[in-house]
Amino acid sequence: MSDAASAPDALPEDTTPEKRDFIRQIVRDDLASGKHRAVKTRFPPEPNGYLHIGHAKAICLNFGIAGEFGGVCNLRFDDTNPAKEDPEYVAAIQDDVRWLGFEWNSLRHASDYFEVYYLAAEKLIRDGKAFVCDLSAEEVRQYRGTLTEPGRNSPWRDRSVEENLDLFRRMRAGEFADGARTLRARIDMASGNINLRDPALYRIKHVEHQNTGDAWPIYPMYDFAHSLGDAVEGITHSLCTLEFEDHRPLYDWCVDNVDLGGHAELLQPLLDKGLPKEAAKPRQIEFSRLNINYTVMSKRKLMALVGEGLVDGWDDPRMPTLQGLRRRGYTPAAMRLFAERVGISKQNSLIDFSVLEGALREDLDAAAPRRMAVIDPLKLVLANLPEDHEETLAFSNHPKDEGFGKRSVPFARELWIEREDFAEVPPKGFKRLIPGGEVRLRGAGIVRCDEVIRNDAGEIVELRGWLDPESRPGMAGAERKIKGTIHWVSARHAVEAEIRLYDRLFTVADPDDESEGRTYRDHLNPASRRIVAGYVEPAAAAAAPEQSFQFERIGYFVADRYDHTGERPVFNRSVTLRDTWTSKG
């Protein structure tokens, strides 16, 4: 039975064709051969920062494969480096997984298994396969060798089992300073794979842990903890990115030489905690990580952007974090569609940012109701209507889906229109409002511009026009050919809104490129956020936080997750209606 909280709303039935990639084929073959009766995967983030879009691919893969093959997926926090970890990140990660539409079978932490890891390390010492080393970190690097030269054995490699056990237990007791000693695997300093040159299994760190407090002054290294964590949980397919391919021999070495399945005594701490005893031999499979242009995904760089105030936090809508993308207006469906389009392979490739934006446009085109908003307002007065004229027009909420129903939109004598929809001297091909010209007001009729009013500075502040009374929707006059249609909001009824116009955070496709002595900080896009005061129709102002709309003729917008209220609407631009970056190269 799952120990997770209540599941998210059920996902719509998946009617897409069966997914095909090399990992799913391995899973199919393993099930068909009887190697496994059921599939079990895990998503193992380290809680030292917020998840980004690359993690979304891994989440969709691990949880997706488990779901497709009737298996389960654990969420396991790799909390072996407490100096950099924070409960804030733990909460955000759980929120991200659920937001994407997935629920874990069991919530685990590497720290749940610290006693198991410790007993496993003592077993390796007794078997002559691990030793306590007194070399400093710098000395270890010097002894390691290079890709073309073998390493040298540590002077401490041949300590007796008794001495190693004594020293390791004293490490555990907190007798030694940070960095004074490590526990290392005893494998092969001449191995062609540097990861097998007596890698560290434990290091001394007198740091309080968020789950275990000050109980442990030593912590396991990632490769040791991760492989044994998979074995402890009975993971069948351990999916990770290609940079871990060279670590796979060490992963297998740890699993094989500890042999949890053959040494039940090592698992006793699990039983003492009431955790299930599921030891099995997992298989690590690597796939290409997600690389996307016009962004950075290094946790170090993302943390610097936040720490240096270059963005407004981890959930800034310009950030590639899942919290930022969510606040920007990206939807779980769009993220899953993007992950599906990117696919799974062994070949590293660079994905264009437009693929991500295209997935969102496709989802919102079908799922987002339409509303009218004006973000650069210019007043248009329909002079032939009475000053107190007011009526209600019926508008479809979605032009392609009658199931969205209709809404009432107020219409009055004074309107706000987009400033760019009027031109005194129109450029070639301009089909909107010009002096003496006509344009169709969306859903209201045909209007002519008769007068342009300026302020003392010569700026246009108002247009005065004439609404053709015979051109109202449904009348014969509405059928006459007019080239342009513009949108509007009633000035009397419109609600002023803060409109945040977001764009890509960087101006170049590869902000990580430092070949000319510049860094990603030098490529920040000064136009990545622009805040304007606009007007929205009342039905938009009444939106719930995180509700998405297409503002007609402008783009897709979302009511801000935190700042939006009906009295003070705040909308974030999620994506423009069309790709505006392709031509920029």
Contact yes or no for 184/201 (Cβ under 8 A)? yes
Picking from 502, 507, 509, the residue whose alpha carbon sits closest to that of residue 353 is 509
Q: Which of 19, 172, 281, 299 is catalytic?
A: 299
Write the CB contacts of 405 (distance below 8 Å, at least 6 apart in sequence).
Answer: 396, 397
3-state secondary structure of 544: coil
How remote is the C-alpha of 196 from its chain's centroid? Answer: 34
214: buried, middle or exposed (CB in 10 Å: 19+, 13-18, 0-12)? exposed
Could you give the CA distance from residue 570 to residue 529 in angstroms, rounded to a whole number? 14
Integer Cα distance of 491 and 377 in angstroms: 10
DSSP 420: G
Please state, in angstroms and as integers, the Cα–Cα distance from residue 144 to each residue in 13, 139, 164, following that order: 53, 9, 21
CA distance 435 to 425: 9
N residues, the chain: 585
Distances (CA, A) of 388 to 410, 412, 414, 447, 492: 13, 8, 10, 19, 10
Binding residues for L-glutamine: 78, 222
In angstroms, the CA 18 to CA 24 distance is 10
The question of whether 400 is a catalytic residue gets the answer no
Cα angle: 569, vertex 575, 357; to 5 degrees: 145
**Which tokens in the block code for residue 251?**
């992963």
Binding residues: 46-48, 52-58, 78, 222, 241, 289-290, 297-299
Contact of 468 with 447, CB cutoff 8 Å: yes
Rounded CA separation 73/63 (Å): 6
Residue 499 near residue 533 (C-beta atoms within 8 A): yes
State yes or no: is 138 an active-site residue.
no
Which is catalytic among the residues 129, 144, 289, 431? Answer: 289
Closest by Cα among 220, 204, 199, 219 to 154: 199
d(CA 197, CA 193): 7
Catalytic position from the list 19, 46, 169, 172: 46
Pick out the residues of the known binding site for ATP: 46-48, 52-58, 241, 289-290, 297-299
46 an active-site residue? Answer: yes
Query: Among positive and negative, which fits the CA dihedral 69, 72, 78, 84?
Result: positive
Residue 472 and residue 490 in contact, taking contact as beta carbons nearer than 8 Å:
no
CA 81 – CA 221 distance, rounded (Å) = 8
Full DSSP string of 428-479: TT--SB-BT-EEEETTTEEEEEEEEEE-TTS-EEEEEEEE-TT-STTSGGGG
Distance CA 66, CA 72 (A): 5
Active site residues: 46, 289, 299
